[in-house]
Amino acid sequence: MTIPSAGTGAARPRRRGAVTWLAATVGVLGLVAACSSGAEAPPAPSAAAPPSAPASTRTLNVVATTNVWGDIVAKVAGPDAQVRSIVSDPNVDPHSYESTPADAAAIGQADLVVLNGGGYDEWAERAVDAAGAGAKSVAAYDLRSDPAEENEHVWFDPATVSAVARQVATRLGQADPAQAQALTQRAEQFAGQVDQIARQYAAIGQARPGLRGLSSEPVPFYLERAAGIADATPEEFAEAIEAETDPPAAAVADTNAVLTNRQVNVLFFNPQTESPVTQNLQTLAGQATIPVVNVGETLPPGTDWLGWFGGLRSQIATAVGAPQ
């Protein structure tokens, strides 16, 4: 990446003070008076004006725990920033990722660290603590729109995403004040795009009130809420899956019955945490002709967060029969 060089302002030449010669005759004095009438005296010599602030003084260095937050950060940080996403493989579950010494070094050297928080990426929280980088970190979970809600998959909550974008702009602007205005502008532009897609989500529930969904894992909770879809997943099943433990047999039976009895309009399936239990949900949904929408935890290849968030909205609308 090219770091724009700091601009330098050239000093303005000093004006030389006019040298007035003593006139020897009345005629010369009159001529001087006539020439100077109505004209202001030249300004006194002054120091050169300081050079204007450069557009960018250096490359901002940001580390994000997943490519979801990395993409959101990049939208705000701009093309000259260096953004490193630690987890980007769609086959890796960010919950169970184990950080490396290289990750720890990157976190320690970053201008800003953006993590999900809420226990989702505890490995990053530990690395931040070990590096003494707490003062330069942003945890999205701490900015969630509803503090009473404990679901940590906040990258699907439009209000939280916008709050993170604005916080990133603020913190990076503090790291490099020369870029503060541009950072704020990009954050507001991004938040406006998020709000637009959020309104499209809300239109799904307005067009099809009373929708119900079941999730193989509680990842799409905020998507359901944005679309006005009630979560019908049995609580005991959801808690066990989230804790990466085997759900009790009774909870599995209850969850399967939701599908076989066609009590929901859509199944949300997380392909990054498959197990025989969750794979069976797909099978039952197919048998009951219930649409399935795949919702993972990292960006699909070839897309950005806005495209992913908007694309899921389109898939959900199609699945539940709502207008596009």
Strand order of the sheet with strand 61-66? 82-87, 61-66, 112-115, 137-139
Structure tokens, 259: 């599908």
- Is the pLDDT assigned to residue 198 strictly greater than 80? yes
Q: What are the residues whose beta carbons fall under 8 Å from the beta carbon of 242, sequence distance 6 or more?
A: 217, 218
pLDDT the model gives residue 243: 87
Query: Terminal CA-to-CA distance of the chain, rounded, Å?
Result: 40
Determine phi and psi for 3, rounding to 5 degrees: -95, 115
Contact 267, 216 (CB under 8 A): yes
- Is the pLDDT assigned to residue 153 strictly greater than 50? yes
56: confidence class by pLDDT, cuts 50, 70, 90: low
Cα(212)–Cα(198) distance, rounded to whole angstroms? 19
Cα(312)–Cα(120) distance, rounded to whole angstroms? 22
By CB neighbour count within 10 A (0-12 exposed, 13-18 middle, 19+ buried), where does 218 fall? buried
- Is the pLDDT assigned to residue 53 strictly greater than 60? no
- Is the pLDDT assigned to residue 14 strictly greater than 80? no
Residue 300, H or E segment: none
Cα(216)–Cα(228) distance, rounded to whole angstroms? 19
- Is the pLDDT assigned to residue 141 strictly greater than 80? yes
Dihedral sign for Cα atoms in the order 77, 79, 83, 85: positive
By CB neighbour count within 10 A (0-12 exposed, 13-18 middle, 19+ buried), where does 90 fall? middle
State the pairing for strand pair 137-139/266-269: unpaired
All domains of the chain, ordered by start, with CATH?
61-199 (3.40.50.1980), 209-320 (3.40.50.1980)
Contact 298, 67 (CB under 8 A): yes
Structure tokens, 285: 């949904």
In percent, how much of the chain has pLDDT > 70?
Answer: 82
Which among 157, 96, 173, 107 is positioned nearest to 134, based on CA atoms? Answer: 107
Strand order of the sheet with strand 292-294? 230-231, 212-215, 266-269, 292-294
- Is the pLDDT assigned to residue 12 strictly greater than 50? no
Lowest mean pLDDT across 47-56, 63-72, 225-234, 258-267: 47-56
91: confidence class by pLDDT, cuts 50, 70, 90: confident
Mean of pLDDT values over 10-25: 35
225-270: pLDDT as tens digits: 999 999 999 999 999 998 889 999 999 999 999 999 999 999 999 9
Structure tokens, 187: 């954050």
Dihedral sign for Cα atoms in the order 117, 123, 129, 131: negative
22: confidence class by pLDDT, cuts 50, 70, 90: very low
Of 48 and 220, which is predicted with more confidence? 220
Which among 163, 77, 180, 65 is positioned nearest to 114, based on CA atoms? Answer: 65
